[in-house]
Amino acid sequence: MEAASSSPTQCRYSYEVYKETADWLLAHTEQRPKVAVICGSGLGGLADMLSDKICVPYKDIPHFPVSTVMGHAGQLVFGKLQGRECVCMQGRFHFYEGYNIHTVTYPVRVFFLLGVDTLIVTNAAGGLNDSYNVGDIMLIKDHINMPGFAGQNPLCGHNDERFGVRFPCMSDAYERALRDLAKQTAKEQGCDSFLQEGVYCMLAGPTFETIAECRVLQTLGADAVGMSTVPEVVVARHSGMRVLGLSLITNKVVTDYESNDKANHEEVLKTTQRRTHDLQRLVSNLIIKI
Binding site for ligand NAG (CB under 6 A): 129, 131, 196, 198, 223
The CA distance from 233 to 244, in Å, is 9
Considering the complex, state which of residue 131 and residue 171 has its C-beta at the smaller distance from ligand NAG: 131
As a whole number of Å, the end-to-end CA separation of the chain is 44
Buried b / exposed e along 198-236 (16+ C-beta atoms within 10 A): bbbbbbebeebbeeebbeebbeeebbbbbbbbbbbbbbb
Cα–Cα dist 133/289, whole Å:
28
Q: Which is nearer to ligand NAG, 173 or 217 (CB)?
A: 217
Catalytic positions? 41, 72, 94, 96-97, 124, 227-228, 251, 265
Question: Based on CB atoms, which residue is closest to ligand NAG, 198 or 226?
Answer: 198
Residue 85 bridge partners (DSSP) = 80
Q: How far is the CB of 187 from ligand NAG (least distance, A)?
A: 16
- Smallest separation, CB 174 to ligand NAG (Å): 15
Q: In this structure, are residues 162 and 231 in contact, taking their beta carbons and an 8 Å threshold?
A: no
The amino acid occupying position 202 is: M
φ and ψ of 237, to 5 deg? -70, -35
Closest CA to 287 of 244, 248, 247: 244
What's the min distance (Å) between Cβ of 221 and ligand NAG?
Answer: 6
Minimum CB–partner distance for residue 255 and ligand NAG (Å): 12
Point out the residue whose Cβ comes nearest to ligand NAG.
Answer: 129
CB 154 within 8 A of CB 104: yes
Q: Given the complex with ligand NAG, which of 130 and 161 has the nearer CB atom?
A: 130
Q: Which residues, in sequence order, are CB contacts of 228 under 8 Å at separation 6+? A: 40, 92, 94, 95, 123, 202
Q: Which is nearer to ligand NAG, 15 or 194 (CB)?
A: 194
Closest listed residue to residue 196, CA positions, set 136, 143, 243: 136
CB nearer to ligand NAG: pick between 28 and 183: 183
d(CA 148, CA 214): 18
The nearest distance, CB 184 to ligand NAG, in angstroms, is: 17
d(CA 50, CA 52) in angstroms, rounded, equals 7
